[in-house]
Chain A
Amino acid sequence: MEIEKLKEELKALNKEYAKIKTIPVEERKAFGEEMNKKKQAILDKIKVAEEAAEDAKVEPLDITAPFSVNGEVKEFRKGSKHPLMTELDRVVDIYQAMGFNVMEPRQLDDEFHMFDSLNFSKGHPARDGYDTFRTAENFIPIAHTSAMQNRALTTYKDRLEKGGQIAVVIPGRVFRNEDVDPTHEHTFYQCEGVYVAEEATMGQLLGIFKNFFETYYGQSLKIKTQPGYFPFTEPSFELLVEKPKSLGGKGDGWLELLGCGMIHPNVLKAAGIDPEKYKGFAWGGGIDRLVMMKYMLNDVRYFESGKLDFLEEF
């Protein structure tokens, strides 16, 4: 209705415009401009009205419905990466950006790599803490990623001789002879780090951790230590990190995240590195807990459950 009215107006205007011939020449310019202005105003109104009329014809839909009325069900396949693997990638990426190389541990290894090369004397009580599985041939499904330390050291030893450093992280799967419950798994993931150079200090070790966790959690964080004991490091301690805001931290809670220390001279010796000349530090931490805290999961058993209802969430 409105459009027709406007079109009528336009016609009338055009008629009036035709009068231009009857107007004195010197007034024609002003008259023409005036007429054009009016015409444009009407045209604008028509455009608005036409668009409004068109819009009014568009059929609305139910935005809350998953597909159209009488339509076909269409779904993307809910592909997912395992959350532990995604987290390992993230952790490794930060260390790689710092300059660490990556080595994966072998899941079935021997007494030498699991214990002997790490300064665990035979029958030492510290071996008990690892609750290792064993095969009939006395091979060991590794109970910590440290089992790869000796190989990391020997593989990159030549770098030291060229004046460089050994900087390796070891992400991988480990096994402990533990009964499974919501907070315990016999199979879980760790990431180990090893650094050796002519100059390596505990101050650097602490500096790396602060830097790592600040990058990982994307905020500045306090760190603190707690004494620990590992035969393969001397001094040994455990690292605690201020609970980050993303996990509901308010600057008072602490997360116990790593075991670490300066590499014991016997560990360097076992890899053919002179402990008089070179020093190093090493650390290891669990990945499962990082993921559980991140997604507020309350049962570690989900990880190895193979349940799509869990996996599709990631």
Chain B
Amino acid sequence: MLVSLNEIKKLVEIPAGVSTDELVKLIGSRLVEVEGTIDLSKKYKGIKIVEVVSAEDIPETHLHLCKINAGTGSEIQVVCGAPNVRTGMLAVWLAPGCVVPQTFGGENFELSVRKLRGYESNGMLAGLDELDLGDDHSGIVEIDPKFAKAGDDFAEKFELKDTILDIENKSLTHRPDTFGLIGFAREVAGILGVKFEEPVEKFGDLEITTTLSPDTLSEYVSDAEKVWVEVEDKNLCPRYTAGVFEVSNTGLESALEGNKYLTLNDVFLAKAGMKKISKIVDATNITMLMTGQPLHAFDYDKFVKVGAKTSSTSQGATGGADEPKIVVRVAKKGEKLTLLDGKEVELVEGNDIVICSNETPVALAGAMGGESTEIDEDTKKVILESATFSLYNERKMQMAHGIFSEAITRFTKGQPMAGTVPALARCASMLLDSPKKIIDFEVSETYNDNDVFVELSLSDINNLLGTKYTISEVKETLENVGFRVETSDDEDLRVKVPEWRTDISIREDVIEEVGRLRGYDNIPLDLPLRPFIGAEKNPMFELKREMRSILSDRIGANEVLTYSFVSKDLQEKVGEDFSDSYEIVNSISPELQCFRQSILPSLIDKMYDNIRALHKDFILYEFNQVTSKKLGLTDEKVPEIENHVALISTGDFYEAKRTLVELGRRLHVEFVLGENNAAEFPYFEKVRSAKVMLDGETVGVVGEIKGRVLRNFKLKNASGFELNLDKIVKMPRKITADLKLSKFPFVERDLTLKVSSEANYEEIKEAVINGLSGISELVYKVNPVSIYQGEDKMTKNISFHVSFASEVKTLESNEISDIMKNIEEKISEVKAEVI
């Protein structure tokens, strides 16, 4: 939303000494996020209103050679291509040195003296588009000679010495009242600590206030005709008001006369980012920009005609076939409507709110009018609508039909019903000289249902904010912006919420107003006091932190993060069943369609790119959450989630195993491997992978990735593991150290054992250890040196490095050979032979 500071200043007196910069800062800190400001005086600098003294055609071109008077008396030559340039008119001149406003802030195109078809041109005469005040490029802008004279400063005359605030709409989602200049100005007053004087507009004898009631307006209008209004459901449309009048040109302000001259109203609309359309439509738009209440005008005659066609069955006191009747209802099945932009839309049954003439939809309420009742040059009589609609329905309509107009932007914030009547009267006052000219005024609901009182105490305010405001400070702050505050003592307040503040209903809402308007930045800083107890460590968070240190700092692996969403294709490639995945119904792309069941597929997917970037030997890992429909739901009826760690390396099974064992060693948990019979993680090669167990419970799988999976990712080999951290985090850590220390010398022996090729390494090693473990007061280490297999593959040789020492004395040679014999005995039991 664009807000003109000049317009705000017309409504609020800014205290002397508050600069524009300070004002913008205050607005930014106490009302709304200001995304940026545009200084129009720079944009329109040096632009002059000039008189075209002469305009002659340049032969064989569409150009005209003009002499202009810029108020200095001397004539200046300008070449102009516009068809409407003519002697005597007032135009807008961009002199050499001026920046074309359309390009301001972008390419900043600066005009100069240059030759066109051999004729020297000093700058240019500007069209509406070049002035960045509209799209029109059909000719140059013409100025009413009654309004200005040659030599006048264009910016001065057209109120363009102004600063425009670019407001982030999202930060005002809850404040429909600030979507009009009056409401915005009220807030500015509040921020400045000034009482806001509600504007009063004269309309004949009627004074239009911001709280003009339907009953009051009714007293002033004539009741010559009757249009019936029927609202099907008050929840859809809390209040519908309509005024009927003939549009008369008498008594109009010159600014609204026709489209010939550029007017202040055109500039007003342009500054808000809107375009001039026609006299009546412009009046509705200007009213909306002022009050925040959107309006819509129907061509009365067209409206009646459209309704009459189908309403033969409708009779009686609620309006007969020939009497106009406005019906507000939800769309029915199969209904269609052609909108103002010429597009035919299919209405959403049960949600779209439509305005009907009798039975025929003629407008998509709040969003866009229909083509069949459009205002045009021949319109003689209008029905002016000012209504509020359910913001929830409007929101869905906005999405369903992709309409993002200024009007619907406001309706989706939930416009207060109290604003409808003043807006209707204001708009009519721009088109008529007296409310008597309104020949019918209808209102569907006269009762204001938002008379809200909030009771609270001064300590409620100060205790929540941490302030020491007095009751008079609070009262003044609230009353500046239209709250009425009753106080019976120095503690209790009864606050009447203004009609336009639909967002306020509880104590905290009022406290926010006090804190915000007086400035949160003025609240003294404090810190909570609490008992001197340590914060709890989160075991899962800490486990991940610990594992991250081991994997990255010790093993040299790289932590990655990959998306939680994967494609069906990826799941298929690794052999996961995507029907077990929770599917995202509104995903951005098929790549991100399923919530992943495990992390490894995402890591496998990241390998190829890294290999192509010439990384040959690496380990990637990730911690994250996974889920699958197979896990079921929790007691809270939300999907059961598992915390996993996954790791992938460019090495073989033993690379992954080595990493896993080291991880276990540093964590002081013992991972035990067993035959991989796990149903999870289908992408592991069954006979080259193992189930990982902790204390008898399966926590994951380690091993090589299946050859056919690797092929899908253009990989040659990969191995890794995926573990369930929820199980690991619960495991007790075995932190008793098994120290192998002796002050007596160690004896070292290499031992090579020939075993059958099926023999299991662990079994052989156990046998060696058994040969040592039975001897008292002996400490020992058994480490593998090599596993060798010859060409015949009948047997394999396993070599160990064995070292041992007595804890109590130096071993003698006979004792050493006894020990070696003992080992040989034990290994012969497992059919191993020392060589």
Contact = CB atoms under 8 A, between A and B. Distances in A.
Interface of A: 76-82, 84-85, 89, 92, 95-104, 106-110, 113, 122-126, 128-129, 133-137, 139, 141, 164-165, 167, 171, 173, 175, 177-180, 186-187, 195, 197, 199-204, 206-208, 210-211, 224-229, 234-238, 262, 264-265, 279, 303-304, 306-309, 311-312
Contacts of A104: 538, 540-541
A104 B618 CA distance: 29
Instruction: Identify whether the interface residues of A are mostly helix, strand, loop, or mixed.
Output: mixed
Contacts, number: 255
Interface in B480-535: 506-509, 511-512, 515-516, 520-521, 523-528, 530-531, 533-535
Interface string B21-46: 00000001111110000000000000
A199 B528 contact: yes
A115 to B, nearest CB: 14
Given A101-B535, A122-B392, A126-B174, 12 more contacts: A79-B552, A99-B530, A173-B624, A179-B588, A201-B464, A202-B464, A202-B465, A207-B527, A208-B528, A234-B506, A235-B515, A306-B602
19 contacts: A78-B558, A79-B552, A80-B552, A85-B548, A101-B538, A104-B540, A123-B392, A139-B638, A197-B530, A203-B467, A203-B526, A204-B526, A224-B29, A225-B520, A229-B173, A235-B515, A238-B33, A306-B606, A308-B558
Nearest to B637: A110
B639 A108 contact: yes
A126 B624 CA distance: 29
Contact of A308 (B552, B588, B618): B618
Given A96-B535, A125-B413, A312-B558, A89 B545 contact: yes
Contacts of B559: 80-82, 85, 311
A110 B554 CA distance: 39
A299 B420 CA distance: 48
Contacts of A128: 395
B391 interface: yes
A264 B508 contact: yes
Nearest to B394: A125
A210 B520 CA distance: 14
A205 to B, nearest CB: 8
Contact of B516 (A101, A135, A199, A235): A235
Nearest to B620: A306
B587 interface: yes
B515 A79 contact: no
A78 to B, nearest CB: 7
Nearest to A124: B392
B558 A80 contact: yes
A211 B619 CA distance: 39
B625 to A, nearest CB: 5
Given A79-B555, A177-B588, A224-B29, A306 B560 contact: yes
A92 B541 CA distance: 10
Contacts of B171: 227-229
A134 B639 CA distance: 13
B628 to A, nearest CB: 11
B116 interface: no
* 6 residue pairs, one from A and one from B, having the closest CB atoms: A77-B556, A203-B466, A201-B466, A306-B606, A235-B512, A79-B556
Task: Say which size band chain B's interface belongs to.
Answer: 35 or more
Contacts of B534: 99
A90 B689 CA distance: 37
A141 B548 CA distance: 25
A141 B528 contact: no
B16 interface: no
Nearest to B526: A203
A106 B625 contact: yes
A309 B618 CA distance: 12
Given A79-B555, A108-B641, A228-B171, A204 B527 contact: yes
Nearest to A92: B541
B170 interface: yes
Contacts of A311: 558-560
B254 interface: no
B672 interface: no
A98 B545 CA distance: 19
B538 A234 contact: no
A107 B595 CA distance: 10
Given A79-B555, A262-B508, A226 B28 contact: yes
Nearest to A275: B508
Given A226-B33, A234-B508, A262-B508, A279 B523 contact: no
A129 B413 CA distance: 13
B564 interface: yes
A11 B552 CA distance: 64
A84 B824 CA distance: 55
B319 to A, nearest CB: 33
Contacts of B563: 186-187, 304
B564 A141 contact: yes
B523 A206 contact: yes
Interface in B166-188: 170-175
Contacts of B508: 234-235, 262, 264-265
A79 B557 contact: yes
A140 to B, nearest CB: 10
A100 B527 contact: no
A208 B565 CA distance: 36
A82 B584 contact: no
A204 B528 contact: yes
Interface string B802-819: 000000000000000000
A227 B31 contact: yes
B244 to A, nearest CB: 33
A197 to B, nearest CB: 6
B552 A186 contact: no
Contacts of B603: 306
B583 interface: yes
Given A77-B555, A179-B588, A308-B613, A173 B464 contact: no
B520 A202 contact: yes
Residue from the set B170, B175, B560, B619 with the largest chain A CB neighbour count within 10 Å:
B560
A194 to B, nearest CB: 13
B536 interface: yes
B564 A173 contact: yes
Residue from the set B392, B528, B541 with the largest chain A CB neighbour count within 10 Å:
B528
Given A226-B29, A238-B33, A311-B560, A134 B586 contact: yes
Residue from the set B174, B506, B620 with the largest chain A CB neighbour count within 10 Å:
B174
B829 to A, nearest CB: 42
A211 B527 contact: yes
A237 B552 CA distance: 39
B463 A203 contact: no
B586 to A, nearest CB: 6
Interface in B555-596: 555-565, 582-588, 592, 595
Contacts of B523: 202-203, 206
Nearest to A236: B512
Contacts of B564: 107, 141, 173, 175, 187
B558 to A, nearest CB: 5
B6 interface: no
A281 B774 CA distance: 65
A306 B602 CA distance: 9
Contact of B586 (A113, A124, A133, A228): A133
A122 B392 CA distance: 9
A99 B521 CA distance: 25
